């Protein structure tokens, strides 16, 4: 029932209806991109004030955890896709009986369950950090002793250790870097499924974003460098500066191969560690991804349009860059909620900065938008992007006299 559907007498053929479960900023920017494709785009929103619900013409308010709500939403759509990984697997199965679900449940479970994903990737011969499901302090401590740097940095046997929620998380967080047993105890106290993971001493973090269509067409964006802070993506540099061209090609091949092996339809983002000239897979996401926001202003086809093209089995767009370099910095909420007023200053200071706001209430540390600058000189681009982001987030250009963090 995808693509152009049969039309009644006297009606013109109608383009397909795409529904996205979730109405955060990823759905908002997908809705924005879908406008150019002339299709109908709907979102399943938690509330009418969700980021995407504010701007989308077709909004259904419902609960993604409710089978009834998800199935009713899917019934009106030719293709259903997602702006997050949290729809229960049994709902995905039921949904697939009536609509095309892309990515499908069998692919999505690798993004939903970190233990399943790591086990599967290791089986494919892909390098992942050492990990183990844990449920007690004794297990965490044993894992630390076996895998950790063994006191190399003076923090004791094997610490720090990373704890990750197997699926979902707690209070919006799913990753905890634990310096010692006391920190691990706090995480264990949440009573959620966890894996322990070695703390990888990476040289830097990279990400590769690929698209794959049901027909099997693939396309890869250039490999980017990402900078995370407290588990939140702060900055993305495209392409990753100074990356060994062979390693870049290897990362793109890895992304395309994983998309095919896992049966992904739509986007697949692969977060990577670069360690001593090798690639270690950290995380997977099967949706538009923060590491690809720069494509809105720096690539021929944005990741949001690419995702829609892929799930509709349309030919993929060119992932080529439109400038030699692009830098994206996330806007995190600060203490002053009056974002719009500060916006004016940023626009006046640099007419070439692209700002994208998500329509969210400002809360400290919350992702409320992003800025992108494209051009030639990556040092200068970073300065411009950070200057704009600092001012928008904090109301001051250089919180401590430095522009760059």
Rg of the Cα atoms in the chain: 21
Taking the least distance from each CB to its own copies, the nearer of 216 and 352 is: 352
Residues of span 46-75 touching its own copies by CB under 8 A: 53-57, 59
> From the list 344, 364, 400, 402, which residue makes contact with its own copies (rule: CB under 8 A)?
344
> From the list 339, 378, 385, 388, which residue makes contact with its own copies (rule: CB under 8 A)?
339
Of 186-194, 204-212, 220-228, 317-325, which segment contacts its own copies by CB under 8 A?
A: 317-325
> From the list 316, 378, 381, 389, which residue makes contact with its own copies (rule: CB under 8 A)?
316
Taking the least distance from each CB to its own copies, the nearer of 277 and 351 is: 351
Distance (Å) of CA 272 to CA 154, 199, 285: 27, 13, 12
Contact (CB, 8 A) for 376 and 317? no
The verdict on 132 binding its own copies (CB under 8 A) reads no
131's CB contacts (< 8 A; 6+ apart) are 114, 115, 118, 195, 196, 197, 198
The verdict on 238 binding its own copies (CB under 8 A) reads no
Q: Show the beta-strand stretches assigned E in 102-193.
A: 131-134, 161-165, 175-178
Is residue 160 reached through a cis peptide bond, with omega within 30 degrees of 0 on the bond before it?
A: yes
Of 109-117, 139-147, 165-173, 353-361, which segment contacts its own copies by CB under 8 A?
A: 353-361
d(CA 360, CA 367): 8
Of 8-16, 102-110, 112-120, 245-253, which segment contacts its own copies by CB under 8 A?
A: 8-16
CB count in 10 Å sphere of residue 222 = 22
Contact (CB, 8 A) for 158 and 147? yes
Q: Which two tokens stand for residue 112?
A: 């939903």
First CA to last CA distance, the chain: 50
The verdict on 314 binding its own copies (CB under 8 A) reads yes
In the bound complex, what is the minimum distance in angstroms from residue 23's beta carbon to its own copies?
Answer: 11
| Residues 278-307, mask of contacts with its own copies (x by CB under 8 A) | ----------------------xx------
> From the list 15, 89, 193, 405, which residue makes contact with its own copies (rule: CB under 8 A)?
15
Q: Which two tokens stand for residue 203?
A: 């040289």
The verdict on 309 binding its own copies (CB under 8 A) reads yes
Distance (Å) of CA 66 to CA 74, 89, 175: 12, 12, 26
Report the interface residues with its own copies, using CB under 8 A. Answer: 3-4, 12-13, 15-16, 28-29, 31-32, 35-41, 53-57, 59, 219, 300-301, 309, 314-318, 320, 322-323, 337-341, 343-344, 347-348, 351-352, 354-359, 361-362, 369, 374
């Amino acid at each position: 029932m995808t693509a152009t559907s049969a039309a009644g007498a006297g009606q013109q053929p109608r383009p397909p209806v795409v529904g996205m479960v979730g109405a955060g900023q990823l759905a908002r920017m997908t809705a924005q991109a879908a406008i150019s494709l002339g299709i109908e785009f709907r979102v399943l929103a938690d509330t009418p004030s969700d980021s995407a619900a504010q701007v989308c013409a077709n909004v259904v308010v419902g609960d993604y955890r409710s089978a009834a709500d998800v199935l009713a939403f899917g019934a009106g759509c030719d293709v259903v896709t997602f702006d997050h990984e949290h729809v229960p697997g049994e709902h995905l199965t039921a949904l697939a009986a009536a609509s095309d679900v892309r990515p499908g449940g069998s692919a999505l479970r690798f993004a939903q369950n970190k233990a399943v994903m790591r086990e599967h990737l290791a089986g494919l011969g892909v390098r992942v950090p050492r990990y183990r499901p844990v449920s007690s302090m004794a297990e965490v401590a044993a894992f630390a002793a076996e895998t950790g740097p063994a006191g190399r940095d003076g923090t004791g046997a094997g610490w720090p250790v990373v704890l990750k929620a197997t699926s979902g998380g707690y209070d919006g967080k799913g990753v905890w870097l634990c310096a010692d047993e006391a920190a691990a105890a706090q995480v264990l106290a949440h009573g959620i499924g966890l894996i322990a993971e070695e703390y990888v001493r990476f040289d830097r973090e990279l990400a590769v974003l690929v698209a794959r269509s049901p027909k099997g067409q693939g396309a890869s964006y250039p490999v980017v460098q990402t900078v995370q802070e407290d588990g939140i993506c702060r900055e993305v540099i495209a392409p990753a500066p100074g990356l060994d061209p062979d390693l870049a090609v290897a990362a793109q091949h890895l992304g395309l191969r994983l998309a095919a092996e896992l049966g992904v339809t739509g986007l697949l983002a692969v977060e990577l560690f670069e360690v001593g000239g090798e690639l270690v897979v950290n995380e997977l996401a099967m949706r538009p991804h923060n590491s690809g926001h720069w494509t809105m202003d720096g690539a021929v086809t944005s990741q949001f349009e690419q995702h829609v093209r892929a799930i509709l089995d349309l030919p993929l767009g060119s992932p080529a860059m439109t400038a030699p370099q692009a830098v994206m910095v996330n806007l995190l909420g600060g203490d002053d909620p009056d974002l719009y007023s500060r916006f004016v200053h940023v626009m006046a200071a640099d007419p070439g900065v692209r700002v994208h706001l998500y329509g969210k209430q400002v809360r400290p540390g919350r992702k409320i938008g992003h800025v992108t600058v494209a051009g030639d000189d990556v040092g200068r681009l970073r300065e411009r992007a950070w200057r704009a982001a600092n001012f928008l987030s904090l109301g001051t250009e250089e919180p401590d006299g430095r522009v760059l963090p």
